[in-house]
Amino acid sequence: MEQTLYEKVGGEEGISKVVDYFYTNLVLKDPTVQQFFNETDMEKQKSHQTKFISFALGGPNQYSGKSMQKAHEGMNLQAEHFDAIVKHLHDALAHFGVSETDIDTALTKVATLRDDILHK
């Protein structure tokens, strides 16, 4: 039986490491998107993001946060912001040795949220 992306990345523990790296080393250092997190409780954000990404990669559905549309309402996010986050997610997954094929699969799932996040 083939492993899910969730299992390949190391389950919730592995995804938690990816999410921590994603925010600490990439997102919060990027002037394109860092301002969106100035007032954010980052521990809570990382926890929500870990659960969301776990579900998106085929793990258990533990995400109980707001819808993507509701969570990003009023932020005036543009395509460049979404693209920066996607690039950082790519780089964080690659940093932890996830194959390009698996990264492409994960990012394809994330791309389905683009319109909701950008309110298109």
The CATH number that domain 5-118 falls under is 1.10.490.10
Tracing tokens 């980052």 back to the chain, one arrives at: 42
Helix boundaries (H) for 1-120:
5-9, 11-21, 42-56, 68-71, 79-95, 100-111, 114-118
Take residue 24 and report the two structure tokens written for it: 């600490």
Q: What is the pLDDT of residue 24?
A: 97
Q: What is the pLDDT of residue 69?
A: 80
> Is the pLDDT assigned to residue 56 strictly greater than 90?
no
- Domain regions of the chain by residue span: 5-118
Take residue 103 and report the two structure tokens written for it: 């990264």
Q: How many CA atoms lie within 13 A of 105 on its CB side?
A: 13
| For range 72-97, the mean pLDDT | 92
